[in-house]
């Protein structure tokens, strides 16, 4: 899908918003169309719990968890790999409107993938306030490197993240893999309803736990850096996807990040999914015939 240019870069639209409007723009639950905002997180959390439970009972523990932990005695990193699903990629817990996460509701979307023979790994990390954003990015980076070392003959690694998880996934485009002694065989990225310029977050209630400074936000904003980074593999396909009923700010961020990818020479595409909101875009991955599910499967199996 072609995305029209937004024109020359001037003052970002969010800087002209009132504090209340900025808060609304970065509160996805306020943009759902089928229920009241206060019902949104509870409803989708329950969907996740029930879906994950049904999946686990049906196929057993077939989804791996990779989590990086610091050994406080030796000061070295250790890796935990288990057979149970870990937390949904996000920065924060249920107290924040950005996303929600727990190992108990994160595997509901993988059944259609494992049914097709796709090996799925869910990355866990320390969310705020326990972990800083820098630490989250580092833990995810180390986890991806670990997967590559464990499976050096893989046919391709595809990374997918939703909301704040899309931001962490996008940061993998900027990773210095030589630092970790391995170059992951990254073949595709699926960035779902993400945030790629973190500066607006500094001025919302989401920052009460993140404690981001402007410097932190700029250092961790792929929007500002991806056009300056050369793709390690020019065939790697980065797909930026947003819901029709995501907030205007989430839609703007997705469009502008796609444009930044194109300026940087990345193989990128943009898709706005019809008639889905911020939560439905990920919930619908339980359906084999869902548009996004088919995009992911076709990309993995190179059917485009």
Q: Which active-site residues does the annotation give?
A: 163, 246, 278
C-alpha 114: how far from its chain's center? 20
CB 172 within 8 A of CB 191: no
CB 203 within 8 A of CB 235: no
Which value, to the nearest 10 degrees, does the dihedral of the CA atoms of residues 113, 221, 32, 298 take?
A: -20
C-alpha 99: how far from its chain's center? 10
Contacts of 134 (CB under 8 A, 6+ apart): 216, 219, 220
CB 219 within 8 A of CB 198: no
From the list 220, 249, 27, the residue with the least C-alpha distance to 140 is 220
Q: 121: which strand partners? A: 64
């Amino acid at each position: 899908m072609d995305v029209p240019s937004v024109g020359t870069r001037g003052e970002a639209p969010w800087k002209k918003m009132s504090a209340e409007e900025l808060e609304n723009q970065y509160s996805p639950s306020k943009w759902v169309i089928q229920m009241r905002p206060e019902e949104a997180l509870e409803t989708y959390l329950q969907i996740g719990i029930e879906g994950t439970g049904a999946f686990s009972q049906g196929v057993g523990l077939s989804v791996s968890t990779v989590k990086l932990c610091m050994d406080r005695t030796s000061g070295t990193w250790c890796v935990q790999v288990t057979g149970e699903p870990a937390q949904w990629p996000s920065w924060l817990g249920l107290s924040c409107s950005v996303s929600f996460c727990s190992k108990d509701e994160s595997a509901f979307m993988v059944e259609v993938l494992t049914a097709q023979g796709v090996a799925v790994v869910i990355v866990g990390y320390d969310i705020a306030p326990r972990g800083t954003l820098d630490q989250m990015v580092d833990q995810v980076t180390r986890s991806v490197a670990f997967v590559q070392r464990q499976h050096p003959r893989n046919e391709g690694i595809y990374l997918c993240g939703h909301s704040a998880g899309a931001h962490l996934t996008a940061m993998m485009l900027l990773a210095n893999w030589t630092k970790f002694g391995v170059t992951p065989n990254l073949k595709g990225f699926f960035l779902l309803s993400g945030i790629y310029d973190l500066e607006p977050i500094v001025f919302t209630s989401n920052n009460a736990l993140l404690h981001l400074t402007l410097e932190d936000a700029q250092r961790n904003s792929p929007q500002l850096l991806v056009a300056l980074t050369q793709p390690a593999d020019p065939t790697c396909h980065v797909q930026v996807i947003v819901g029709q009923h995501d907030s205007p700010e989430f839609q703007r961020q997705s469009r502008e990040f796609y444009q930044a990818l194109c300026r940087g020479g990345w193989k990128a595409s943009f898709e706005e999914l019809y008639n889905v909101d911020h939560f439905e875009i990920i919930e619908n991955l339980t359906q084999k015939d869902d548009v996004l599910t088919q995009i992911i499967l076709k990309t993995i199996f190179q059917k485009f």
